[in-house]
Amino acid sequence: MIDHRLGFGLLFFAGGLLGVAGGIEQRRKKQQLLRRAVRVKARVVSVRTESSNDDGGIDFHYPTIEFRVGGKAVRTEVIVGRSRGEEVMAGYEVTAYYDPLAPSRAVLAPGDWPGGGCVTLLGFASALLGGMLLWDSLFQK
């Protein structure tokens, strides 16, 4: 009969390693994106607001910005919202960063692009837990 610690250990360890590998790959992609990102002046055209809950919790403001790339106007909503709406009111001029391979992917700060840090950390914790379960299952009889 298989010990449940062995099964769960394998599951957590394998899932954790996949999470770590995925997080590292996402981090690598973010670094490449940061190297090629283009800084541009943009105008806030409109702002979409989302509340974190119905009781008036934290509001996140997602500005739609417009800027020019090669003479063509690009209008896009930024990837990451802001909790302070006064930073991104319609009509404001802001500095934005866009991906030249996909100009509709834009952020207001270079650090706003997803980087995989949380996935890597959770994957590491899962792999560690799985490793402990495997160790306990295989060597603590």
Output phi, psi for 23, to 5 deg.
Answer: -65, -40
What is the distance between the alpha carbons of residues 3 and 36, in angstroms, rounded to a whole number? 50
Predicted TM-score (pTM) above 0.75 = no
Per-residue pLDDT tens for 85-98? 666 778 889 888 88
pLDDT at position 112 is 64
First to last CA, the chain: 14
* CA–CA gap between residue 9 and residue 111 (Å, rounded): 35
- Write the pLDDT tens digit of every residue in 29-70: 878 877 888 899 999 998 888 777 666 677 778 889 999 998
Share the mean pLDDT of the chain.
83
Nearest one of 96, 116, 124, 115 to 37, comparing CA atoms = 96
pLDDT at site 139: 83
DSSP letter at 70 equals: T
